[in-house]
Amino acid sequence: MTHAARETEIKLAVPDAATARRLLRAAGFRVSKRRVFETNTAFDTPELRLRRAATLLRVRQAGGVATVTYKGPPDVARHKSREELELEISDARNMAAIIERLGLGPVFRYDKYRTEYRQPGRPGIATLDETPVGVYLELEGTSQWIDRTARKLGFAEKDYITASYARLYLDWCERNGVRASDMVFR
C-alpha cells in the first residue's frame, strides 16, 4: 500500500492515557486500531542534510506492519502540514540496510504505544501516543476538523503542539537534565 498525501496535524499533551481515553470516549471516538508498540528509526546523512532541510526519512515497525515514510518540510502555523509519502514494506530490517547502503545512517530511534481512534462516519483520526516522555493525543485531518475536535476535547489553540517527537524529547531532556540519546522505553 502506498499513499501520498499532505498530513495536517497537532499534538495535545494529556496527563495520562486513562484521561485521554475518557476524553476521546466522551467526544464520540471509538478505537479503530488497537494499542500497538511502535519502534521508529529516523535516517539521515552524516552531515544531517535531512534534519537541516526539516525533512524526515523513517522506518517504522508497528506490530506486524512495517512502513518507510518520507515527510517533507512542514508549513507550521496553527497546525503542522507537510507532504507525507508512506509505503508499507515487508521487511523493516532489510529496508534499513538498503537505506544505509545509500549513505544514510540511523540518527534517532523513538518508541511509543499508539492507539488509533475515529468517530463513526466522520473524517479525521485521533491517536493516543504513550511515549517515554509523556502522553499525547495527535489529531490529524483538515484544519477545521482539528480545531473543532480539539475544542470538543476541551483544548484551546494555545494547547496545540506542532513539534516533532524528536523535538519534544530534546526539550524534555533539557528540562530534566538528561543526556539525549534515543527516546526509547528502558
Q: Residue 148 has what pLDDT?
A: 97
Contact 56, 42 (CB under 8 A): yes
Of 170, 169, 159, 172, the residue nearest 78 (C-alpha):
159
From the number of C-beta atoms within 10 Å of its C-beta (0-12, 13-18, 19+), residue 2 rates as exposed
Q: Residue 175 has what pLDDT?
A: 97
| CA–CA distance, 40 with 98 (Å, rounded to integer) | 16
Q: Residue 1 has what pLDDT?
A: 40
**In this structure, CATH architecture of domain 2-176:** Beta Barrel (2.40)
Q: Residue 147 has what pLDDT?
A: 98
Q: Residue 39 has what pLDDT?
A: 97
The structural domains of the chain, with segments of one domain joined by +, span 2-176
| CA–CA distance, 157 with 23 (Å, rounded to integer) | 17
Q: Residue 76 has what pLDDT?
A: 76
Of 57, 56, 61, the residue nearest 89 (C-alpha):
61
Q: Residue 119 has what pLDDT?
A: 96
Of 156, 19, 177, 184, the residue nearest 78 (C-alpha):
156
Backbone angles phi, psi at 37, to 5 degrees: -80, 135
**56-62 and 65-71 beta bridge pairing:** antiparallel
Q: Residue 5 has what pLDDT?
A: 87
Q: Residue 124 has what pLDDT?
A: 96
Element (H, E) at 168: helix 165-176
Q: Residue 186 has what pLDDT?
A: 86
pLDDT per residue, tens digit, the chain (186 aa), is: 444 589 999 999 999 999 999 999 999 999 999 999 999 999 999 999 999 999 999 999 999 999 999 999 999 789 999 999 999 999 999 999 999 999 999 999 999 999 999 999 999 999 999 999 999 999 999 999 999 999 999 999 999 999 999 999 999 999 999 999 999 998
Q: Residue 3 has what pLDDT?
A: 47
Please give the sequence-ordered ranges of beta strands (E in DSSP) within the chain, or none if there are none: 2-14, 30-44, 56-62, 65-71, 75-76, 80-89, 105-118, 125-131, 134-140
What does the CA dihedral 2, 83, 33, 130 come to, rounded to 10 degrees?
140
